[in-house]
Each structure stands twice: as C-alpha cells, then as structure tokens.
Structure 1
Amino acid sequence: MTGVQQEIVGEDEGGQRLDRYLRRKFPQLSQGRIQKLLRTGQIRVDGKRCEASGKIEAGQVVRIPPLENGGAEGGIPKRLHPVDEKQLAFLKRAVLFDDRDVLVLDKPAGLAVQGGSGLGDHHLDALLDGFAEDGERPRLVHRLDKDTTGVLVLARNRRAAQALTESFRLRETRKYYLAVVKGRLPENSGKVALKLAKRGLKGQERMEVAEDGDRAVSLYRVLDRLGDAAALVALWPQTGRTHQLRAHMAALGCPIVGDAKYGGGECENLPGNHGHAMLLHAWRIILPHPHKGILDVSAPVPATFVKACRELGLNLPGRGEDPFMDVE
C-alpha cells in the first residue's frame, strides 16, 4: 500500500473540478472510486470534505488516502519506480538550479510534463523519481505545454512546495516567455484581459475567449519586428490558465509561429522554415526562494528558436534583461 499523500494544487491547476484534477493526476483512479472516497471523507481538501464537482484553488492541499497499488479498484500506482535511464541522463543535463528546496529544469520541446492518453511513461513526471533525495521525489508546482521549452520549477519537499505555490498564488512570481508571433500586434506593449474556456470535442479541445470563462490576464511587449509579418515578443502571464499565452496571442490575430492548434502553423509568407516547432520559450523566472532571498533563473534560448530569429532578422534580448522592469 502507498502511504497518505498530500498533493498541493499547482499554480495552473486551480479553478477546475476536484474529480477532474484527480483523474488527471491519478489516471488509474476511476470516477466511481473517487466518488466513494469523497463520500466517505477519505479524500479531503484542506482537511475538509468536498464534493466531486467542487472547485479547487492553487495552494490547497488534497489528501489522498492509502490505497492498494493497481488492482481492480483502481488504486494509485506507487510513485517511486525505475525510470528510463537514457531519458533521465538527458534531463539531468538540463538542470539549471538545484538545492535542498528547489529544482529548476530546462524542459525540452516534445516532453509532456504529466502523463495523458497514449503517453505511457514518456513524460517528465515519470522521470522525477530519478531526482529523489531521501526517498522524496520533487513536486511539480506549475506546468509547461508539451512543445513549450524552458524554465520549469519543482519543489524538493512539501514545505518548499507550499511556499512556491503560495508565491504563484499571490502573484509574487515573474514568469517571462519569449515568442515569435505572426502579424503585427496592435501596440508595442499591452495587456490582454480576456476570459478563457475550454471548447471543442474530446481530443480536439482548445481554449477560446468566452464570457463564461475563467479570468486570464497576459502582458506583452514587442522586442523586435519584421515589418507587419512577424514580431519577437516578451510575454508575462499574470494568471496561469491552460494555453493562456497561445490563446491570447491568437485572439489578437497574432498566433505564435509553429502553433498549429491556434493558427500559427502556416508560415509560407515568412523567411525560412518555421512550421516544425512552436516558437514559445519559458525564458526567465523570478520568485522568492522558500528560505533565502530571490531566485532568478534563465533558460538558454533553444537552437531552433535562435535559428528562426536569425532567419527573420529578429534580435534576441541579452541574458538578464528585464522587458517588464517598469511594470509592478
């Protein structure tokens, strides 16, 4: 049996139903089993009983009771298990920062952060046992899309996870992204405050602007332009909705280059060949360290991104630059 698990809701996991959160995090836990565990009070949120349809928020703690591994009842699989050594060796070369509280990785394109349909063990969460210390595996406190590269922060212990998640919840964290977008943005800098909701058939869902959606706010700043054809932009999401930056840029008529889901896949009018990779990079994160000062970590811009900017004549910012220095 696994012991009691205390799962902290990540910064971009809030706002969803509890049962959906549980099914995503523990795919072997059936809906019926979830309902029974909730009805008997074995699964709790911040120590309180909760309905399956109840909304969870970032920073809350979800108690998962001891359950049989596997079995007909759909228990939670044991979290510590052998990992793919080749993938793990590759990921260990991508460590940007590591101490007793925080682990920061440079996530490559094509690697999902968590499992899903058809992924098997080919996702980052399946490799985290290889980073475990004293039997405790790192905990995800936020996510990046599968094809987004760059800075990904993990907590090495429960207290650090709570502190980091609280920093995200209180907007004490600055997450800067770089993106190449198609077209011409309406202003050199601006704020996008458009609510987003998931729409579409299963397997084809995407986030769309909707009055009944969740609050979503993003800041952008143009760093360089290729006339009206494309621009290099810095992005700072103020909230953490799924596909937020991708959906917001598309809503402005300037989808991210290479993002076929949101209209950025066709790039025949741009110099070079950019349809094979989404040009969205989690470039820099600045946040309070759980125990000491401020943590400021940048991920090097990937070679594919650098090549695209060179072909488009777009100049990348220098390391350590702060495009939003004048924004509180």
Structure 2
Amino acid sequence: MTYKTLSASIIYINEDMINQRIDNFLKKKFKNTPKSMIYRIIRTGKVRINKKRIKPNYKLKIGDYLKVPSIKVLIQEKKYFNVKNYEKNLLNNILYEDDHLLIINKPSGIAVHGGSGLNFGVIEYFRNVRPLEKFLELVHRIDRDTSGILILAKKRTSLVKMHQQIRENKIKKEYIALVHGLWPHNLKKISQPLLKITSNNKQKKVIINDNGKISETYFQIKKQYSFTTLISVFPKTGRTHQIRAHTSHVGCPILFDKRYGNLDLDKLIKNKESCNRLLLHAISINFIHPSNGNILNIKAPLDMNIRNFLQTLV
C-alpha cells in the first residue's frame, strides 16, 4: 500500500458543516485514512478547535476554527473516466433542481460514487462540473446497474431533513422490474431478512438469513408476457440489493442480473435489441420538500433501451 502525506490545514466551519461530530467529519473528509489514526490525532490533541483540545463527540459549530495536523492518506489505484463522457447522460438527465435538491434520472452502468476500483461516479461528476457549489452529497444510493431516480442534496440542512424522512419511512419509492417467469398473483409482499456477505470471488452480496436485517418489499403485476412479468416494486425498507435478492429468492430473478440472476434463463430470452443491462428502474419517488414542505412526486421515464426491449416481448 502507498500513502501520501497531506500538509497541515486550517478549516473554517460554515453552515454546511455544522452539527457533525468532529470524528465523523474527519473520517468523511479523509476517507482513505485509517479510523485509528483519526481517533489518535484527536485523542492526543493534534486536532484543535479554536486552539483547544476536543473530544471525538464534539459537534461542529458555525465559525469554529479547525486545525488539522499533517496526515497520511492511502493512495488507491482506480480506473479513471473522462469527465466529458458523463455530460450527455447526466446533465441532460436532470429531472428537478432548486437551491436545495438536484434530482437526476441515472443511467444504468454509472456508479453513484467512486469506490471499488472506480475513480468517478455521479457525485464526483457534479462536484467537478459545479465547483462553486459549497455542498453536494448523495441523499441515497441506487445500484450501479439500476437506472432511475437519484437525489443529491445541495445543503446540509436539506440532507439532514431528507435522511430523517428516510428513517421515518416517509419517502415512497416505486421501481419497475422485468422478471423471469409468471409472477404469482397472490404474491404481493416479501418479508425476508437480508444479510451482507462476501462470496468466494470477493463479490459483495446479500442473502436471505435469519441473522440479517428486516427487509420488506411489496409487488404489483403490471403486465404478464409468455415467459416474463413486468412488475411494480415498492420497497418499504432500503437494504442493499433488496429488490434483486427478494425476486431471486422466489424464483423470479430480474432479467440480466449478473449477481442474483439466472444466466441460463437469460440466454433463453430472444434479445433482438441486444439488451444486457439489469432490467430494474427507479421510476418514481414521493417525499416532502426539505425547505418549503411541499409534497414532490418525481417521475423518471424509462430509457429507450428498456422501452424498445419491452416492445419485442410477447
């Protein structure tokens, strides 16, 4: 592993940084620094606020003067992407924007953030093309292979209020999925706990396991074809890969799902459109605006790839 040392720095706390614990703030700012190092520099007094030592649970206040010592960060080798390659798919896919929120129709195949060998994702892209924005954070995440609605917060206060709605189950989401087989008409709810694991090939996934977290998904049939079913999906909880794992568990995996799907069934599908993307799309979201209290209902149209593929089904 290769490390580089960042010089000592001074950070003036503004309104977009307040009410965060100092340990959480530093862990987020220096993501590639071991947590043990973060806590050590706080404990030994090398981190100072207003020239005073503080504890890890200190909450930042507006006007605070934060001094951070020189610190080592891990340099990770990542795949780099040309920023311009994102412009057509992201700038043209903005569904809603104001001073508080930025909502896009994320294409399939683009990660929401860098990591797992990727240097660039949606959040890094918008920070790059919007350098004057003081604050930009993901409100939630969707899988790289899933398309559809993704919300970014442009103010910390908006992020906090949106996260509160998520915790209180006030945000309603609808997904569209095309699954293998004829979905049973009486199967309207799956409630199975999901446990995160790392498979033998070091791939992260979730499995049905009593030791996992409570997960609940509701379903409604939209249209049945000869060998597949188009369904609306309403996740009550927001676990990683929840929809993909639940549909696979009942023997109706989503088409072209390389992690939870059925490759043999995928091969049987007559694919005139050469569609090989996961057929899962976040089509709508309903929530309370974090500033004005209005109810917003945002819809994201299906991309041409999915629409054309559905037209070939019988």
1:276 is matched with which residue?
A: 276
1:223 to 1:92, Cα distance in 2 relative to 1, 3 A: same
1:17-166 alignment runs, 5 A limit: 27-36=31-40, 49=56, 67=68, 73-74=72-73, 84-88=83-87, 90-120=89-119, 122-130=120-128, 132=130, 134-166=132-164
The DSSP-based 3-state class of the residue aligned with 2:108 is: coil
**Using the alignment, how far apart are the partners of 1:169 and 1:152 within structure 2?**
17
- Contact 2:206–2:241 under 8 Å retained in 1: yes
2:223 is matched with which residue?
A: 224
- Contact 2:89–2:107 under 8 Å retained in 1: no
2:261 is matched with which residue?
A: 263
Query: Whose radius of gyration is greater, 1 or 2?
Result: 2
2:286 is matched with which residue?
A: 286
- Contact 1:246–1:255 under 8 Å retained in 2: yes
The aligned amino acid for 1:33 is: M
The DSSP-based 3-state class of the residue aligned with 1:213 is: coil
- Contact 1:265–1:275 under 8 Å retained in 2: no
1:277 to 1:31, Cα distance in 2 relative to 1, 3 A: same
Counterpart of 2:196 (choices 192, 198, 203) is 198
**Using the alignment, how far apart are the partners of 1:147 and 1:154 within structure 2?**
18
Shift of residue 189 of structure 1? 4.8
1:169-184 alignment runs, 5 A limit: 169-184=167-182
Shift of residue 38 of structure 1? 7.0
1:137 to 1:37, Cα distance in 2 relative to 1, 3 A: same
The DSSP-based 3-state class of the residue aligned with 1:312 is: coil
1:203 to 1:97, Cα distance in 2 relative to 1, 3 A: same
The aligned amino acid for 1:308 is: F
The aligned amino acid for 1:299 is: A
2:165 is matched with which residue?
A: 167
**Using the alignment, how far apart are the partners of 1:8 and 1:178 within structure 2?**
37
Provide the aligned C-alpha RMSD in A.
Answer: 3.3
127-136 or 302-311: bigger deviation: 127-136
1:326 is matched with which residue?
A: none
More strand by share: 2
- Contact 2:123–2:136 under 8 Å retained in 1: no
**Using the alignment, how far apart are the partners of 2:194 and 2:240 within structure 1?**
9
Corresponding residue pairs, total? 276
- Contact 2:135–2:156 under 8 Å retained in 1: no
Q: Which runs of 5+ in 1 are unaligned?
A: 10-17, 51-64, 77-82, 314-328
Shift of residue 151 of structure 1? 0.6
1:227-238 alignment runs, 5 A limit: 227=226, 229-238=227-236
- Contact 2:275–2:305 under 8 Å retained in 1: no
201-210 or 276-285: bigger deviation: 201-210
Deviations 1:98-149 (A, max 9, x none): 01111101111111111113212x2112112146485413221100111111
Shift of residue 89 of structure 1? 5.6
- Contact 2:137–2:154 under 8 Å retained in 1: yes
1:132 to 1:66, Cα distance in 2 relative to 1, 3 A: farther
**Using the alignment, how far apart are the partners of 1:275 and 1:135 within structure 2?**
37
1:128 to 1:67, Cα distance in 2 relative to 1, 3 A: farther
Q: Which runs of 5+ in 2 are unaligned?
A: 1-8, 48-53, 58-65, 76-81
**Using the alignment, how far apart are the partners of 2:107 and 2:67 within structure 1?**
34
The aligned amino acid for 1:150 is: G
Deviations 1:14-69 (A, max 9, x none): xxxx99xx58x854222432442575697xxxx9957xxxxxxxxxxxxxx7646x
Deviations 1:150-198 (A, max 9, x none): 1101111011111111111111111111010112323355111111011
The aligned amino acid for 1:278 is: L
- Contact 1:182–1:231 under 8 Å retained in 2: yes
Q: Is 1:252 aligned to residue 253 of structure 2? A: no
